[in-house]
């Protein structure tokens, strides 16, 4: 057997209170796609940060091309032929494509030459891109291209990709895979991080599975069932959410030609959105990140106002009302960003319970706060939703993602909403918490609440929604019954390949 491209042995990294990686070992061969599989919090990102030189291991060894490899900085890793496409946080919105690419290179050529090389590489790999465009104006898929091209310009031997398909439509995923296959045929190895099993079965040659920081197994994905991999990843099987048969009532919320400008510079404005949702119904809204999801939630919560007639709640026009009055009527929402939007990080859970519950739960009297009642409400949420925390005095940011998400969703569910709108209810949450949250939504719908679930997780939407629609560049697709929709149909509703060309391999 040839020398592996990269071999890791006994890598360990501990942070205060948590061992992120515990004695992890595996090997990557040249030209293979190696999957790194695990739940949120399993230690995948810490592991790749060590390979990329952002974090130093406490112990253990890495070998690249058979030689010891211990990068102290990302630039050292890049110089050794390791490149990385990040899931978040690595592009500069206000800079143009060429500048963004230059920042990821050690010795970039002059801007003029660089632009030419960007065009060359993008043509070779079927990733068309204009070097002079401002990155903030690009779609999610195009932004990812910027990152990939940035990597390719350095002739990497190992390309690390962190959840690359979470921002793509199914059609765009196919295009990406074509590009990746072309790369592996040239001998480049790819370390592919994901928790999407089907994807890994299509693309990857080997898989290493992490759970709670430990390497719990390796497998050949093509020969392993998704179910077996899931069990390795999660450690136990979960009951799929139960769908009770529901009776649909009258229309609870209706949008008619809703238009709203985005409050942020590089946001997406909503254009002519119309939909309605009935009591007891769950409407799932899919779409790639950044296509108006945040704006839609804000327009429903009252953070963005619109024409009065554009939003109707139980027949009443409420487009001009703010979050307070809407909440009072029974229209509750839970935004995607837990820390800083749905909850104040440094405030206690009691204070955060007050954030949306003050009015409906009678936590104040003529403006004066009833702290005792607020704490009791927080305790009720904690026990009803199994939030793991020492108590309601703990600051929100001290909770794990899953627990805080349960608290945030629970806070709204406990207030018996007539309409509940959630955005990415299980994003970055472990499987157990995700299952609990989905079940809670289904149970709530069974009691007659109308629910709009905005999510980028298509499996989730197919699991719980009655009807499905997709957001694309601030517009809403036709809404269709969820049952019987094929992946291709869903992809086309999400905007297909967004005009991207397929790699000409």
Partner 1 sequence: MDLSSINPILLLASLMVAATPILLAALGELVVERAGVLNLGVEGMMITGAICGFAIAVETGSPVVGFIGAALGGALLSLLFAGLTQFALANQVASGLALTLFGLGLSALLGQSYVGVKPPPTAKLDIPLLGDIPVLGPIVFAHDWMVYFGLALTLVVWALLKFTRAGLILRAVGENHDAAHALGYKVVRVRVLAILFGGACAGMGGAYLSLVRVPQWTEGMTAGAGWIALALVVFASWKAGRVLLGAYLFGGVTVLQLNLQAAGVDIPVEYLSMSPYLITILVLVILSADRSRAPGSLGRVFHASS
Partner 2 sequence: MLRLEQRPQPSRMWVYLTPLVAVVITMIAGGALFAALGKSPVEAIATIFWEPLFGEFAFYYRPQLLVKAAPLILIAIGLSLGFRAGIWNIGAEGQYILGAICGAGVALAAYPSENVLIFPAMIVAGAFGGWAWGMIPALLRVKFGTNEILVSLMLVYVAEQLLAAMSLGLMRNPEGHGFPGSRNLQQYEAAHNAELITGSGLHWGVAAALIAVIFAYILLNRHILGYHIRLTGQAPRAARFAGVRPNRLILFCLGTSGALAGLAGMFEVAGPSGQISIDFNVGYGFTAIIVAFLGRLHPVGIMLAGLLMALTYIGGEIAQSNLQLPAAAIQLFQGMLLFFLLAVDVLVQFRLRWIRTEAA
Residues that bind partner 1 (CB under 8 A): 46, 49, 53-55, 73-75, 78, 86, 89-95, 99, 102-104, 108, 265
The burial of 190, by beta-carbon neighbours within 10 Å (0-12 exposed, 13-18 middle, 19 or more buried), is given as buried
Binding of partner 2 by 452 (CB under 8 A): no
Choosing among partner 1, partner 2, none, which partner's interface includes residue 94 (Cβ < 5 to 8 Å by kind)? partner 1
The tokens of 137 are what? 């104006």
The tokens of 23 are what? 């004695």
E strand or H helix that includes residue 285: strand 282-286
Binding of partner 2 by 41 (CB under 8 A): no
CB 24 within 8 A of CB 47: yes
Q: Applying CB under 8 A, what is the total number of residues that bind partner 2? A: 39
Q: How far is the CB of 84 from partner 2 (least distance, A)?
A: 15
Choosing among partner 2, partner 1, none, which partner's interface includes residue 265 (Cβ < 5 to 8 Å by kind)? partner 1
Q: How far is the CB of 74 from partner 2 (least distance, A)?
A: 9
Binding of partner 2 by 346 (CB under 8 A): yes
Choosing among partner 2, partner 1, none, which partner's interface includes residue 14 (Cβ < 5 to 8 Å by kind)? none
Q: Which residues pair with 81 in a beta bridge?
A: none
Strand intervals (E) in 222-261: 251-260
Binding of partner 2 by 340 (CB under 8 A): yes
The burial of 282, by beta-carbon neighbours within 10 Å (0-12 exposed, 13-18 middle, 19 or more buried), is given as buried
Q: How far apart are CA 89 and CA 103, in angstroms?
A: 13
Q: How far is the CB of 144 from partner 1 (least distance, A)?
A: 14
Check residue 81 and report its DSSP letter: T
- Helix, strand or coil, per DSSP, at residue 305: coil
| Segment lying near partner 2 (by CB under 8 A), choices 153-161, 244-252, 364-372, 443-451 | 364-372
Q: Which residues pair with 208 in a beta bridge?
A: 36, 218
Choosing among partner 2, partner 1, none, which partner's interface includes residue 108 (Cβ < 5 to 8 Å by kind)? partner 1
Q: Please work out, in degrees rounded to the nearest 5, the angle formed at the alpha carbon of residue 245 by the alpha carbons of 242 and 248.
A: 130
How many residues comprise the chain? 505
Nearer to partner 1, 239 or 265 (CB): 265
Q: How far is the CB of 340 from partner 2 (least distance, A)?
A: 5
Q: How far apart are CA 130 and CA 342, in angstroms?
A: 37
First to last CA, the chain: 29
Nearer to partner 2, 268 or 301 (CB): 301
Binding of partner 2 by 341 (CB under 8 A): yes
124: left (phi over 0), alpha (psi -120 to 50) or beta: alpha
- Helix, strand or coil, per DSSP, at residue 217: strand
Nearer to partner 2, 352 or 449 (CB): 352
CA distances (Å), 230 to each of 70, 122, 211, 216, 489, in order?
32, 36, 11, 12, 26
Nearer to partner 1, 55 or 62 (CB): 55
Choosing among partner 1, partner 2, none, which partner's interface includes residue 93 (Cβ < 5 to 8 Å by kind)? partner 1
CB 161 within 8 A of CB 193: yes
Q: How far apart are CA 61 and CA 398, in angstroms?
A: 32
Check residue 80 and report its DSSP letter: T
Nearer to partner 2, 16 or 110 (CB): 16
| Segment lying near partner 2 (by CB under 8 A), choices 48-56, 222-230, 311-319, 378-386 | 48-56
Nearer to partner 1, 53 or 290 (CB): 53
Among 2, 16, 107, 236, binds partner 2 (CB under 8 A): 16
Q: For the CA atoms of the chain, what is the radius of gyration?
A: 24
Q: Which residues pair with 11 in a beta bridge?
A: 24
Nearer to partner 2, 63 or 344 (CB): 344
Nearer to partner 2, 142 or 351 (CB): 351
Nearer to partner 1, 109 or 324 (CB): 109
Choosing among partner 2, partner 1, none, which partner's interface includes residue 79 (Cβ < 5 to 8 Å by kind)? none
Binding of partner 2 by 354 (CB under 8 A): yes
- Provide the binding-site residues for partner 2, judged by CB under 8 A: 16, 53-56, 58, 72-73, 301-303, 322-324, 327, 333, 335, 337, 340-347, 351, 354-356, 358, 364, 367-369, 394-395, 397-398
């Amino acid at each position: 057997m040839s020398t592996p491209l990269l071999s890791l042995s006994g890598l360990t990294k501990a942070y205060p209170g948590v061992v992120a990686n515990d004695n992890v070992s595996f090997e990557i061969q040249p030209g293979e796609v190696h999957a790194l599989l695990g739940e949120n919090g399993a230690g995948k990102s810490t592991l790749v940060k060590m390979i990329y030189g952002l974090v130093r291991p406490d112990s253990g060894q890495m070998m690249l091309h058979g030689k010891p490899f211990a990068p102290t900085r990302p630039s050292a890793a890049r110089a050794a032929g390791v490149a990385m496409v990040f899931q978040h946080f690595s592009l500069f919105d206000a800079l143009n494509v060429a500048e963004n690419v230059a920042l990821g290179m050690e010795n970039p050529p002059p801007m003029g030459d660089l632009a030419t090389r960007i065009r060359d590489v993008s043509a070779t790999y079927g990733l068309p891109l204009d070097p002079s465009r401002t990155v903030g104006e690009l779609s999610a898929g195009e932004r990812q291209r910027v990152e990939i091209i940035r990597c390719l310009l350095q002739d990497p031997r190992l390309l690390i990709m962190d959840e690359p398909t979470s921002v793509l439509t199914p059609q765009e995923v196919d295009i990406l895979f074509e590009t990746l296959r072309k790369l592996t045929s040239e001998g480049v190895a790819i370390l592919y991080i994901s928790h999407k099993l089907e994807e890994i079965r299509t693309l990857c040659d080997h898989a290493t599975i992490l759970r709670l920081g430990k390497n719990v197994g390796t497998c050949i994905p093509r020969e392993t069932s998704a179910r077996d991999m899931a069990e390795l990843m999660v450690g136990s099987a979960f009951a799929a959410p139960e769908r009770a048969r529901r009776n649909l009532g009258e229309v609870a919320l209706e949008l008619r030609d809703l238009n709203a400008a985005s409050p942020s510079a590089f946001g997406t404005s909503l254009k002519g959105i119309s939909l309605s949702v009935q009591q007891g119904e769950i409407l799932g809204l899919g779409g790639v990140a950044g296509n108006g999801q945040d704006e839609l939630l804000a327009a429903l919560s009252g953070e963005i106002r619109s024409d009065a007639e554009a939003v109707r709640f139980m027949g009443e026009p409420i487009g001009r009302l703010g979050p307070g009055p809407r909440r009072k009527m029974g229209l509750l929402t839970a935004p995607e960003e837990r820390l800083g939007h749905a909850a104040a990080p440094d405030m206690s859970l009691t204070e955060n319970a007050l954030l949306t519950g003050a009015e409906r739960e009678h936590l104040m009297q003529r403006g004066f706060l009833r702290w005792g009642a607020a704490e009791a409400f927080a305790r009720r949420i904690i026990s009803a939703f199994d939030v793991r925390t020492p108590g309601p005095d703990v600051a929100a940011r001290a909770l794990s993602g899953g627990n805080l998400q349960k608290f945030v969703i629970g806070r709204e569910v406990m207030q018996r909403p007539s309409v509940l709108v959630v955005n990415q209810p299980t994003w970055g949450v472990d499987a157990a918490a995700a299952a609990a949250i989905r079940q809670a939504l289904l149970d709530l719908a069974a009691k007659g609440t109308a629910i709009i679930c905005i999510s980028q997780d298509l499996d989730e939407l197919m699991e719980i929604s009655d009807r499905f629609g997709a957001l694309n560049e601030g517009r809403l697709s036709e809404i269709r019954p969820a049952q019987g929709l094929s992946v291709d149909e869903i992809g086309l509703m999400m905007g297909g390949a967004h005009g991207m060309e397929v790699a000409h391999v």
